[in-house]
Amino acid sequence: MAVSAWAKSGPRDFALAFCHDAHLNRNPLHTFRNALVNAKIDWGNLFFSATGRIRQLHFLIGAAVLLLLLCLYESAVKGALQFVTGWIVYPILFLMGACVLSKRLHDRGRSGWWSAVILLAIVMVWPAPTGFFDFLAVLVLAWAVVDLGVMPGERGDNRYGRTLFRLKPREQA
């Protein structure tokens, strides 16, 4: 059974498709590429829900989208208009960032409240760090990049949701 057909056949996730084909001794690079292409992102759930878990790839995509939106907004809107619209745009971006960070922290087995520390560090160093405490914020951000962007999620279910990885394919009825 082809990866794309198998991955689209039901509510299977990327890791389950990858492990299934690895179990069948298929080419892992081909399997990884097809599973990655077939992985679907629920954008509303990613940016507006703080419950559950997300994979590294979805976290990195979500973080890149939020940083791109922030940069586009700040480069396009200046002066008094930025002051007026900033009261709406910045809280929305902050909420979306908290949701994305919380989900990834949940996948790592940590409380979503740690996203407040990370977001505070981002606010402190944006657009450029200037003082000693900004240096501490940069250290927090370096920790966050390594912990959330490089380290894999917890294997197995945790208190924040079901695992995103299955070590064995599900039994077929």
Residue 143 lies in a domain: yes
Residue 49 lies in a domain: yes
Residue 72 lies in a domain: yes
Is pTM beyond 0.75? Reply is no
| Domains: count for the chain | 2
Three-state secondary structure string covering 49-97: CCCCCCCHHHHHHHHHHHHHHHHHHHHHCCCHHHHHHHHHHHHHHHHHH
Low-confidence winner among 16-20, 59-63, 88-92 (lowest mean pLDDT): 16-20
Residues 134 and 57 occupy one common structural domain: yes
Residue 132 lies in a domain: yes
For 132-157, what is each residue's pLDDT tens digit? Answer: 889 999 999 999 999 999 999 988 88
Residue 27 lies in a domain: yes
For 83-92, what is each residue's pLDDT tens digit? Answer: 999 999 999 9
What domain range includes position 10? 3-38
Residue 85 lies in a domain: yes
